[in-house]
Amino acid sequence: MNLKNIHNVYFVGIGGIGMSALARYFKFNNKNVAGYDKTKTEITDGLEALGILVSTKDDVTGIPTAYLNKENTIIIYTPAVPSSHAELTYFRAHDFHIYKRAEVLGLITKDTFCLGVAGTHGKTTTSSILGHLLAASGTDVTAFLGGIAENYNSNLILKGTEITVVEADEFDRSFLQLSPDVACVTSMDADHLDIYGEKEALQDSFVAFTKCIKPNGKLFVQEDITELDGITYGFKETSNYHIKNIHIQNGAYVFDIVTPLKIIEDVQFFIPGRHNLLNGLVAFAMADIIGTPTDRLAKALGTFTGVKRRFSYQIKTEDFVFIDDYAHHPTEINALHQAVREMYPEKKVTAIFQPHLFSRTKDFADEFAESLAQFDEIILLEIYPAREKPIEGVTSSWLLDKIENDQKQLIAKENLIDHVSAVNTDVLLTVGAGDIGEEVVKIKNVLTVEY
């Protein structure tokens, strides 16, 4: 497929964070763009502000007439949309050119110098840091992100077309559509077992991804991953790229980066959490290995302001802090807990958690219970189903019973705002990958009056 010959691009699931980045990309490249999503959100509002048509009607009659011409239209869909979707059914029945999001990313990036960020955790933050480091250093780059980079208020960084940065997503084995020149693997913890069945199958897919790297390409591997060979990074002195002399100064990490060739001293980074230090380090390393000057990279690390819903401060005063975070896996919750305790020792921390997917809750119930029990107070919401149907016996009440902490409760989401105003805590967290993110502004508005 030659994208230059395409005039119309229609998205089924346009409101997804990765899908909307592609929609923005095609719009900026002067294509006609429209799409469907089941609900209007802040993301779809942003697309409509660019002149992109968004429908919430799962019906062929909601598709603009121009997009029914299959000769100059492509259809891009996300696997999160059910196969029974009316529009998808119509497009398939009428032999439209239909592609998964990952296939299109592969087509866009195959003729560029591509940097791919893979891993079960840290993809969005790492790719956002990498995109920012390159853009701020004057590199000709386009970055497709799985979150809203706060420096750009967008999930797309457009500063040129020579180099691309893309998240290499393991869900549905999507990353096997890519062929990066430089890649990293940040983690390989078990996840998406509804797709893979067993952890070993997930790990095998990461091995397969590394074989997609172009000849003479480079692979960076987090130092604790023993299943893969590559350039290592981490906190250990034995790693090819590592961090040392870490301390906190004026709310920021200050540290030295050791590369195979030099030491860069007194680097500043304002994003809390040791896991985010690693994300920043591998982004630095990937940018370094393609020749970006290290002094520019060090300066750019200090200007990265974060990713929306990744340890995202909503309220920050001397007496009270409200942070929103996308963590939806026990490992991510543990990392969030470490970051909060490091930044706010001796403070009472209350976590509001919305489990994401019945299958993930079932597969990691004991691990979720253990990670959540670390907080001083836990408020659970009902499980956000996303693409799934309920699993008998798998409920938030069942998960709550497993949490060994007396300060715990389950509340309905519709009662959340009233409940939050009565919570007595020093640090409040909203946590999860579901629609809890839609409640953040409401919570902030209520609490801003108090604090």
Same domain? For 167 and 297 the reply is yes
Boundaries of domain holding 403: 312-450
Give pLDDT, residue 429: 98
Q: Over the stretch 319-358, which tens digit does the pLDDT of each residue have?
A: 999 999 999 999 999 999 999 999 999 999 999 999 999 9
Per-residue pLDDT tens over the stretch 62-116? 899 999 999 899 999 988 788 889 999 999 999 999 999 989 999 999 889 999 9
What tens digit of pLDDT does each residue of 261-272 get?
999 999 999 999
Quick one: average pLDDT of 16-42?
94
117 and 239, same structural domain? yes
Q: Residues 128, 239: one domain?
A: yes
Q: How far apart are CA 167 and CA 178, in angstroms?
A: 10
Sheet holding 97-100, edge to edge: 53-55, 32-36, 8-12, 73-77, 97-100
pLDDT exceeds 70 at position 196: no
329 and 233, same domain (yes or no): no
- Tell me which of 301, 326, 349 is where a domain ends: 301
pLDDT at 1: 64
The whole-number pLDDT of residue 62 equals 84
Residue 104 lies inside a defined structural domain of this protein? no
- Where does a domain end: 275, 301, 327? 301
pLDDT at 251: 81
| Residue 337 sits in the same domain as residue 289 | no
DSSP secondary structure, 270-318, as one string: -S-SHHHHHHHHHHHHHHHHTT--HHHHHHHHTT---BTTBSEEEEE-S
Residue 190 located in a structural domain: yes
Query: Bigger pLDDT: 131 or 3?
Result: 131
The pLDDT, as a whole number, for residue 250 is: 83
CB of 328 closer than 8 Å to CB of 432: yes
Looking at the structure, tell me whether residues 171 and 228 fall in a common domain. Answer: yes
- Same domain assignment for residues 115 and 224: yes
Residue 111 confidence (pLDDT): 87
Identify the domain boundary among 47, 72, 99.
Answer: 99
CATH number of 395's domain: 3.90.190.20
pLDDT grade for 12, boundaries at 50, 70 and 90:
very high
Does residue 444 contact residue 314 with C-beta atoms inside 8 Å? yes
Chain-wide mean pLDDT for the chain? 93
Q: Are residues 278 and 138 both part of a single domain?
A: yes
| pLDDT per residue as tens digits for the range 369-394 | 999 999 999 999 999 998 789 999 99
Number of structural domains found in the chain: 3
Whether 444 and 359 share a structural domain: yes
Residues 18-29 have a mean pLDDT of: 95
Same domain as 340, residue 389: yes
